[in-house]
Structure 1
Amino acid sequence: MLHELNEHVFRNEYSLKRPPRESDFVMAFKGRSILVKGDGKSEPLSLPEVRLLEEREQLQYLFAIDDRAFFLFTGDAGSKNGGALEIPGFSWQDIIALRSDNPRMVCFAGATAWHLSSWYQSSRYCGKCGTATVPSEEERAMVCPSCHNIIYPRIAPAVIVGITHRDRILVTRYRDRPYRGLALIAGFCEIGETPEMTARREAMEEAGLKIRDLRYFGSQPWGLDSNLLVGYMARVDGSPEIIRDENELAEAFWVSREDLPEPDTTISLTRTMMSCFKKNGFAF
């Protein structure tokens, strides 16, 4: 999955915060675009280094991978129609390019930086008194200098459920979302719920199915949507008749292991779960 970096080591301790070095990386965003070289398809993605940037006082420390730090550009990146930030050889690409997994380290760093960038943008003012916030010097947080309210990064827990019936798995396609590929039943945890409760509720709400034998599969941070994903496999409890939530899903249908297409990548928890079911069935 995207966060599995093999030989690379992700370090998110804020205590590692330091001034930027020439070889550190710059993460710059404009709308839903990221400044990179390449497109992740015909050419691997690469990030600009600090040495290429003139406005170095406008860099916010984010995290480190191995001995290289990543900094968020907090200055004026420009609008959709024009860029105040330009670096020769680099261009603005839609953040969807980070799903290319090419290379893994850059795509994970970009998704995680996007998560933090979105949080910084939405935390510029205190939700209690409206005062402009400032970064904490001690931890990853924004602090209100007036009422001393502390704002921590927003992480939304969500559940993915692979619902099975004998040798089949329930797959779906979202309605009114950019992603049109095959998906599994999924949804956000609500107030007062455990992830297991969410899994059972979403199975009933989206597909009209009761489930049993709920088994934890794995988890994944998904920075592109500020999520922490928790995956489960389950079996249908009772009738396998699908009652689709037409407001959420364009399609919902059973697919046998034999007919389930092998995902072209296991970058996401959903695709990893599908690949595992195709190979092993409910045994994992």
Structure 2
Amino acid sequence: MIQDIQPHRFHVEYTPQEPEESDVVLIYMRDRILAKYKEGRIEYPLVSDIMSVFPEIGKKAKFLFRIDDQDYYELRKPEIEEFSDWSYQATTVLREASPMWKAFAGITGYQIHTWYNDTKFCGRCGTKMRAQGVERAMECPACGKVTYPTISPAVIVGITNGNRLLLTRYAAGHSKLKNYALVAGYVEVGEVLEETVRREVMEEVGLKVKNIRYYKSQPWAFTGTILVGFFCDVDGDDTIHLDELELSEGQWFEREDIPENKLNISLTSEMIQFFKSNPGNEFQ
């Protein structure tokens, strides 16, 4: 999955310091990222690259995180125009860009950058917020409210029926993604994760499920989400009743007929392929 960047190591600890010329700067303009992107490979500018068009980058850059021994920074403003071979690419290319560890860096930085931009004003009193400086948080100078990055929990559900797995496709008005997926949904207030599984399955495909078991989790920076994967078995009638507002298709697939997915960056893709490659149901 996209966060599996070994042998590289991601350090999320907040340890800001003045950037060096060899550090990476992730620069975003709305939903685009400044990069060199050619034949599927992505590269980000260094502080030294940005200095040629914005000499104040050393003072304006904001710390994001570290990968291995290299620090990553962002520039919240002013916005930098394209220059030389550097151009803005849609952040969606990070779903397919290589090497994958650089794609992970780009989209993780985007999640943090977006949170800062969305937290400019206090949600309690409306005063302009300021960065604390000692941790990744925004503080209101008027009422003292401290706000930390928002991470939304969601479940991914692999519904099994013997040798079959239920695959879905999103409705065009709900998502631009066209690949097969699993039932998924956000956790509501007051729910435990297993209750979310039952509710989302019933809402989206009209099925009762049992034997709910945890598989794996994944940070999914594309939507600011922590995904939690579960497998479960259909309980009783396996007739699908589709929620057509969210889904365009829901179908039982025999294990051997499940389509291959070459992009194994997501928890959904891994769970689908995991079921396909485990005919003995070893995950149970």
Fold shared by both chains (TM-score > 0.5): yes
Report the Cα distance in structure 2 between the residues aligned to 1:36 and 1:189, rounded to whole angstroms. 35
2:61 to 50, 59, 62: 59
- Give the CA deviation at 1:104: 1.1
Contact 1:101/1:267, CA 8 A, preserved across alignment? no
* SS of residue matched to 1:119: helix
Residue in structure 2 matching 1:194, options 192, 195, 214? 192
CA distance in 2, matches of 1:207, 1:11: 39
Alignment pair present for 1:184 and 2:182: yes
Match of 2:76 in 1: 74
Indicate the residue corresponding to 2:163 in structure 1: 167
Q: Please, what TM-score do these two structures have when normalized by structure 1?
A: 0.94
Shift of 1:262: 1.5
For 1:222, the equivalent position in structure 2 comes to 220
- How far, CA to CA, are the matches of 2:240 and 2:122 in structure 1? 45
- Asked whether 1:154 is paired with 2:146, we answer no
Output aligned runs, 1:1-284, within 5 Å: 1-14=1-14, 16-39=15-38, 42-53=39-50, 54=54, 55-56=56-57, 57-77=59-79, 84-175=80-171, 176=173, 177-281=175-279, 282-284=281-283
Q: Structure 1: which amino acid aligns with 2:233?
A: R
Question: Secondary structure in 1 aligned to 2:37?
Answer: coil
Distance 2:145 2:76 in 1: 22
Query: 3-state SS of the aligned residue for 2:263?
Result: coil
Question: Could you tell me how far 1:101 is from its partner in structure 2?
Answer: 4.2
**Partner AA of 2:33 in structure 1:** I
- Structure 1: any 5+ residue segments left out of the alignment? 78-83
Provide the secondary structure at the position in 1 that maps to 2:222.
helix
- Aligned-pair identity in percent equals 41
Give 1:80's aligned residue: none
Cα displacement (A) at 1:98: 0.4
Task: Show CA shifts across 1:240-259 (max 9, x none).
Answer: 10011111111111111111
Give how far 1:43 is off. Answer: 4.0
Q: Say how many residue pairs are matched.
A: 275
Conserved 8 A contact 1:203-1:209: yes
Residue by residue over 1:100-128, the C-alpha shift from the partner in whole angstroms, topping out at 9 and shown as x without a partner, is 14111111011111111110111001111
Name the aligned partner's letter for residue 68 of structure 1.
Answer: Q
CA distance in 2, matches of 1:224, 1:48: 21
Q: Which runs of 5+ in 2 are unaligned?
A: none
What is the Cα-based RMSD across aligned positions, in Å? Answer: 1.1
